[in-house]
Structure formats: structure tokens, C-alpha cells
Amino acid sequence: MYNKGTIIPGLIIFVLFVTFPIWFNGFKAGTPPKPELPPGGEKKCVESVEYMRANHMQLLDEWRDNVLRDGNRSVVTVEGKDYRKGLQMACMQCHSNKEKFCDSCHTYAAVNPYCWDCHLSPKEAASKEETR
């Protein structure tokens, strides 16, 4: 191999650089968050916990397309309680604390969904209720 002297140290530096987040955090992933369950005490979501944990974003996308694009705004009924499809209208009814439910995991996983650019978290909505 030519230029052994530069290539091998170069490779080592490269590997160290790309693995920076791993060894910088001491090979630990940190403590996984425990999202707060609905303070109202509801036990049953529109799907199973496992399904929601893995697929809530797909479900929200599906609802979005149902409601906005297909004009299908049928309600989802869980244990006799009706929910209108929608982040603000269904999810946040029970999971009323965005910071402790949504954000805890999203921050941990370093994902930054743009839901809240438009949709109002219960806290945001309450901030401007009494002004008029």
C-alpha cells in the first residue's frame, strides 16, 4: 500500500470522528423516558400500546389523509367513547400533557415532528382562551 503513513492514521481519525456520539456518551444510551399516561385515567387507546408505540405516526398520517383529502371524518369509538379523528381532537383529549407525553420520547429520540407548528397543544390553546 502506498502512503501507509497517512492513510491509516487518517482512517483511524475518521472512524473516531463518526463514532463520536457513541464513545462521548460512554457507550450508554441514557435512561429511556417513561411517557406519562393519561392523567384522566383512560386505559384504552384507539389501538394497542405496542401498535401505537411503533406506528402512531403512520396512524396520524392515515387520519390526516382520511380527514383532509378523502373527506372521511368518521369517528373512532373506544369503549363507548367517540373520538373525532385528529391530533387535537382525539389524542390530546386524553394525553393532555404534550410535554410529558409526546416530548419526552421525541426529545430522547431526537426527532422533531412539525405537528405543533399548526396543531395546538392543550397548553398552547389554553394560553389564549380568555383574551376576548
Partner 1 sequence: MDKQRRNFLKIAGVAALAGIGAPALVRLSSSAALAAEHGAAVGEATAEAAHGAVAEAASQGVRLGMVIDMRRFSEQPELLDNAIVACNDAHNVPQFDNRKSEIKWIWKAPFENVFPYESSYHLAKKVKDADFAVLCNHCDDPPCVRACPTKATFKLEKNGIVAMDYHRCIGCRFCMAACPYGARSFNWEDPRPYIAKYNKDFPSRMRGVVEKCNFCSERLALGQEPACVEACQGTGAMVFGDLNDAQSEIRQLLDKEFAIQRNAALGTKPSVFYIV
CB 97 within 8 A of CB 39: yes
Q: Is 127 in the site for partner 1 (CB under 8 A)?
A: yes
Q: Which of 89, 103, 104, 108 binds partner 1 (CB under 8 A)?
A: 89
d(CA 23, CA 27): 5
Place of cell 382525539: 90
Helix (H, G, I), strand (E, B) or coil at 50: helix
Q: Is 112 in the site for partner 1 (CB under 8 A)?
A: no
Q: Is 95 in the site for partner 1 (CB under 8 A)?
A: no
Number of residues that bind partner 1 (CB under 8 A): 23
d(CA 22, CA 43): 37
Between 1 and 40, how does the x/- string for binding to partner 1 read (CB under 8 A)?
A: ----------------------------------------
Q: Output 12 or 126, the one with its CB closest to partner 1.
A: 126
Q: Which among 31-39, 40-48, 50-58, 63-71 is the span making contact with partner 1, rule CB under 8 A? A: 63-71
Q: Which of 73, 99, 107, 109 binds partner 1 (CB under 8 A)?
A: 73
State the Rg of the chain over Cα: 22
Helix count (H) and strand count (E) of the chain? 8, 2
d(CA 51, CA 57): 10
> Which stretches of the chain bind partner 1, using CB under 8 A?
64, 68-71, 73, 84, 88-89, 114, 117-120, 122, 124-129, 131-132
